[in-house]
């Protein structure tokens, strides 16, 4: 049985021409060999599987080739090339820094560097995964790396450039390797499949290339896996089944339902995806990529950004024609927000389902928030109805005024006649308004008698005396003529303090005013003038503007003196009596104002608190 060799090793590049996706680096290295401008240290950095180690081997083999071509092509016939191909070359050394990362290993390397090459001009040392060296090993390597022997060349390879010390970076020529494009991977896989006698769909090649994420080694490994599963005939369906990749068709179907607002089918498709074992986070990430691809398809100038098979691109273009930019922008915003909050969500599936429902809402928002819209509509209708009723009441009020004026004029010549029954003008007008509106109910007044009809078939005229009596019942105790009933009693200080306290209680609806009155003692200035002292000008202006008239009326009525006037004054800060709040303050005040107490405390050595 023939020994199987994986494609990543079997089809590994062995010349600068066979390097894939790194043309600029290959050209630079070839020119440096042609011009004999070789550096003593190189650093190859970049992602995995892009050809760093392969390029280092090609470069080392080329500079030691005894019979290179005019374009620095390898002869593959000289002793140096043959020994390297067979793996027995003593001029090219490969070291793994992950397993040789100590100071002792670097010390052995420093001793090995002194030995000149047996075949060829240079001793090349390829150190792979150099970022795994310890800090001490890096420092031990610095002197040799900076001033190696003339025959020594170091090639360092790493995937994590940021972990290498700056002192190492400054001593090397750095080459950054790029990820290999999908087109280059598809082209190389097509050539390899022909050599292997395998038939593979173009869509399947694109899936493999996308899954490889720019690494040719990963693409060849996936290719071997697909061949092992499918044999010599590889289809798109078999590849997505082998690699557990979600089909484009799911995303296309979901987008159609999003546009139609069909949330039921969307939830069913999502459940089907989860039942097949797909990761929900990968699904939402793929949906974001799908919307991104649709956005790219909206403009022909951005079409080269798509890394898809031609048949898939045609389907994307057809669907992009039905998607507006507004829909795609909102969809990308929703999916990216959902993806960001997935891991912190307590219920991941519900988190994604809510995002899917919001996607259905973008183009079909009618089924969401319908109740709130109906409530707003009903509220506006009620407000409009209220406004119309108020407008209808305005002419009724005018009519009431006119009737009152007319009745008053008619009542003047009948002053000597017997007082007739009282008429309820307001009730009558409201009865007429009820007939017009058919919705309003008249207010009933307990103190008004219903109107009666006289012998001539008309209403009895109204009595002016009765109207005045009725108005007197509804009015307050103090009217415009109440001032005439107030006397001119002399103001007593004790009674003033008592009335002042009552006035503070009467203003309990305004706590700040009530507190100010209760904390301020009134001062009698002159015969009928009372001083009300406040703390600042703001209080004075506010009380004078809003409360002074009410306070003066209260004092006149309760002190029975119509000549009382209230003067509001601002008390300077030094005149404000200091309030004693703390027990120690009260004790100090007591001792200061009572010498006997102070003597007792001092004689008996007491502590007064």
Mean pLDDT over each residue of the chain, to the nearest integer? 80
- Give the pLDDT band of residue 159 (cuts 50, 70, 90): very high
Give me the mean pLDDT over the 293-307 stretch: 89
SS3 per residue for 158-212 = ECCHHHCCHHHHCCCEEEECCCCCHHHHHHHHHHHHHHHCCEECHHHHHHHHHHH
- Give the pLDDT band of residue 300 (cuts 50, 70, 90): confident
DSSP 47: S
Quick check: 371 pLDDT over 50?
no
- Give the pLDDT band of residue 577 (cuts 50, 70, 90): low
Give me the mean pLDDT over the 251-269 stretch: 92
Query: What does the pLDDT read at residue 337?
Result: 93
Give percent above pLDDT 70 in the chain: 78
Quick check: 410 pLDDT over 80?
no
Give how far the C-alpha of residue 306 lies from the chain's centroid of Cα atoms, to the nearest Å: 30
Return the sign of the alpha-carbon dihedral for residues 575, 579, 584, 589.
Answer: positive
Quick check: 88 pLDDT over 70?
yes
- Give the pLDDT band of residue 377 (cuts 50, 70, 90): low
**Domains in the chain, ordered, with CATH?**
7-178 (3.40.50.300), 184-366 (1.20.272.10), 384-474 (no CATH), 485-575 (3.30.300.180)
Query: What does the pLDDT read at residue 4?
Result: 82
Q: Which residue, 565, 560, 551, is CA-closest to 484?
A: 560
Query: What does the pLDDT read at residue 253?
Result: 92
**pLDDT by residue (tens digit) across 491-550?**
888 888 888 888 888 888 888 888 888 888 888 877 788 888 888 888 888 888 888 888
Q: What are phi and psi of 11, to 5 degrees?
A: -110, 35
**pLDDT by residue (tens digit) across 449-481?**
444 444 444 444 445 545 445 444 443 444 444
Give me the mean pLDDT over the 391-408 stretch: 58
Query: What does the pLDDT read at residue 187?
Result: 93
Query: What does the pLDDT read at residue 419?
Result: 40
Query: What does the pLDDT read at residue 245?
Result: 85
Quick check: 413 pLDDT over 50?
no
* CB 205 within 8 Å of CB 188: no
Quick check: 16 pLDDT over 60?
yes
Give me the mean pLDDT over the 170-198 stretch: 92
Give me the mean pLDDT over the 144-172 stretch: 91
Q: CB count, 10 Å around CB of 442?
A: 15
Give me the mean pLDDT over the 32-59 stretch: 92
Quick check: 432 pLDDT over 50?
no
Quick check: 327 pLDDT over 60?
yes
Quick check: 221 pLDDT over 60?
yes
* Stretch (H or E) spanning 409: helix 370-411
Q: CA distances (Å), 366 to each of 27, 357, 375, 492, 494, in order?
A: 62, 13, 14, 78, 76
Q: State if pTM tops 0.85.
A: no
């Amino acid at each position: 049985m023939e020994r199987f060799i994986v494609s990543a090793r079997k089809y590994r590049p062995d010349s600068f021409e066979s390097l894939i996706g790194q043309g600029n680096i290959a050209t630079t290295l070839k020119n440096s060999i042609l011009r004999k401008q070789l550096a003593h240290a190189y650093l190859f950095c970049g992602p995995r599987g892009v050809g760093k180690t392969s390029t280092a081997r090609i470069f080392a083999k080329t500079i030691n080739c005894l019979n290179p071509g005019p374009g620095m092509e390898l002869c593959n016939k000289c002793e140096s090339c043959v020994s390297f191909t067979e793996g027995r070359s003593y001029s090219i050394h490969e070291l793994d820094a992950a397993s040789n990362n100590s100071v002792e290993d670097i010390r052995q390397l420093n001793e090995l560097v002194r030995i000149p090459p047996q075949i060829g001009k240079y001793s090349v040392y390829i150190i792979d995964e150099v970022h795994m060296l310890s800090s001490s090993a890096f420092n031990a390597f610095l002197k040799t790396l900076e001033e190696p022997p003339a025959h020594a060349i170091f090639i360092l390879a790493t995937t994590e450039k940021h972990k290498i010390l700056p002192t190492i970076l400054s001593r090397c020529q750095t080459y950054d390797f790029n990820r290999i494009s999908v087109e280059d991977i598809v082209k190389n896989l097509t050539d390899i499949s022909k050599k292997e006698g395998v038939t593979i769909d173009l869509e399947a090649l694109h899936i493999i290339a996308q899954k490889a994420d720019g690494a040719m080694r990963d693409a060849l490994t996936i290719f071997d896996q697909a061949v092992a599963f499918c044999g010599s005939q590889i289809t798109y369906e078999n590849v997505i089944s082998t690699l557990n990749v979600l089909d484009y068709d799911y995303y296309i179907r979901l987008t159609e339902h999003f546009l139609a607002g069909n949330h039921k089918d969307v939830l069913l498709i999502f459940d089907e995806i989860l039942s097949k074992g797909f990761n929900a986070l990968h699904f939402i990430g793929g949906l974001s990529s799908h919307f991104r691809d649709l956005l790219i398809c909206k403009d022909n100038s951005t079409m080269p950004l798509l890394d898809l098979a031609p048949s898939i691109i045609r389907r994307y273009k057809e669907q992009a024609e039905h998607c507006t930019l507004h829909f795609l922008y909102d969809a990308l915003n929703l999916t990216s927000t959902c993806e960001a909050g997935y891991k912190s969500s307590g219920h991941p599936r519900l988190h994604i389902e809510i995002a899917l429902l919001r996607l259905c809402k973008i183009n079909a928002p009618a089924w969401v928030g319908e109740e709130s819209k109906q409530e707003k509509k009903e509220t506006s209708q009620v407000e409009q109805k209220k406004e119309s009723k108020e407008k209808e009441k305005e002419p009724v009020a005018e009519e009431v005024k006119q009737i009152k004026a007319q009745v008053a004029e008619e009542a003047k010549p009948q002053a000597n006649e017997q007082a007739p029954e009282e008429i309820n003008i307001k009730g009558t007008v409201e009865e007429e308004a009820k007939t017009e509106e058919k919705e309003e109910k008249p207010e009933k007044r307990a103190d008004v008698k219903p109107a009666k009809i006289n012998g001539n078939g008309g209403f009895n005229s109204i009595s002016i005396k009765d109207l005045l009596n009725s108005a007197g019942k509804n009015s307050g105790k103090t009217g415009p003529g109440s001032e005439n009933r107030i006397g001119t009693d002399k103001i007593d200080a004790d009674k003033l303090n008592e009335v002042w306290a009552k006035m503070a209680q009467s203003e309990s609806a305004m706590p700040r005013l009530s507190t100010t009155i209760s904390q301020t003692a009134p001062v009698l200035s002159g015969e009928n003038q009372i001083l009300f002292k406040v703390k600042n000008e703001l209080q004075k202006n506010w009380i004078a503007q809003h409360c002074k008239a009410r306070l003066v009326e209260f004092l006149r009525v309760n002190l029975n003196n119509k000549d009382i006037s209230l003067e509001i004054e601002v008390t300077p800060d030094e005149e404000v009596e200091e309030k004693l709040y703390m027990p120690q303050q009260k004790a100090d005040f007591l001792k200061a104002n009572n010498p006997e107490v102070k003597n007792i405390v001092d004689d008996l050595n007491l502590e007064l608190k």
